[in-house]
């Protein structure tokens, strides 16, 4: 995307702030089993998705590498008994240590592992392999990610997202600003293209669905063999 357009978009978002990641929360929730599922949210930030999962009856555990961010998530989640948090490395996760299953649960994995705007911070193959291993048989991995523009189609979709971004910002910006919580963790620009993501998914996650989305995002869904 041209730098002048990026600067203009930054000014618009500053005037009407809202979260592109939160825009996909309902979509993520639709991918996760309802009821008393065990769910791990990797890179949970301040815990918004974890609280939404807990409100639906899930035992939702969020992990993030940033200690102050996890402390904020815990403070905001005091009224959500199903939401728990820990400081942890996204590449060194073990469900028995992080979130031991109750006696008689019958499995050590998660019914779902979610990761929103996290994968581009990590070595892709290593992260996908680790998260895949956390799933129980039949469990689902749900990723909302960022990608680097590399093709004409990428740039065309980005241009289409600009007016949509403006409309959503104007409609939701005031409400979003009132509930927005500042993130202390550093951010990073994505290096992998959408083609890179699709190639990695085909190699590591057979049957995974990768789709281009608005607001400079893609989604990935992989279900572990039953």
pLDDT of residue 16: 46
97 with 192, same domain? yes
139 with 70, same domain? yes
171 with 102, same domain? no
Contact, 44 vs 63, CB < 8 A?
yes
Which residues does 182 contact at the CB level (< 8 Å), separation at least 6? none
143 with 171, same domain? no
Per the structure, the complete domain to which residue 160 belongs is given by 3-14+149-179
- Count of domains in the chain? 2
**CATH number, domain containing residue 95:** 3.40.50.150
40 with 120, same domain? yes
For every residue of 1-63, DSSP letters joined together read --HHHHHHHHHHHHHS---TTGGGHHHHHHHSPPSS-EEEEET-TTSHHHHHHHHTT-EEEEE
113 with 216, same domain? yes
Q: What count of other Cβ atoms lies within 10 Å of the Cβ of residue 35?
A: 8
36 with 76, same domain? yes
107 with 195, same domain? yes
54 with 166, same domain? no
pLDDT of residue 35: 87
141 with 87, same domain? yes
Q: What is the mean pLDDT of each run of 10 residues along the chain (226 residues)?
A: 56 55 90 93 96 96 96 95 94 71 66 96 97 95 95 79 59 50 65 97 97 91 95
60 with 42, same domain? yes
pLDDT of residue 21: 78
113 with 163, same domain? no
């Amino acid at each position: 995307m041209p730098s002048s357009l990026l600067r203009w978009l930054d000014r618009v978002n500053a005037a009407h702030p809202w979260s592109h990641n939160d825009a996909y929360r309902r979509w993520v929730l639709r991918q996760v089993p309802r009821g008393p599922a065990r769910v791990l949210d990797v890179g949970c930030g301040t815990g918004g998705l974890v609280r939404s999962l807990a409100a639906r009856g899930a035992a939702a555990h969020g992990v993030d590498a940033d200690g102050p961010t996890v402390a904020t998530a815990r403070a905001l989640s005091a009224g959500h008994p199903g939401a728990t948090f820990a400081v942890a490395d996204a590449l060194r996760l073990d469900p028995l240590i992080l979130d031991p299953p109750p006696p008689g649960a019958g499995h050590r994995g998660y019914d779902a592992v979610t990761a929103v705007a996290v994968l581009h911070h990590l070595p892709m193959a290593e992260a996908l392999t680790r998260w895949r291993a956390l799933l129980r048989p039949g469990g689902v991995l749900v990723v909302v990610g960022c990608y680097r523009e590399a093709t004409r189609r990428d740039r065309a979709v980005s241009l289409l997202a600009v007016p949509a971004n403006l409309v959503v910002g104007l409609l939701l910006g005031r409400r979003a600003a009132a509930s927005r919580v500042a993130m202390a963790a550093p951010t990073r620009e994505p290096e992998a293209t959408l083609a890179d993501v699709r190639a990695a998914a085909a190699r590591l996650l057979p049957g995974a669905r990768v789709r281009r989305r608005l607001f400079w995002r893609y989604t990935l869904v992989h279900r572990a063999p039953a």
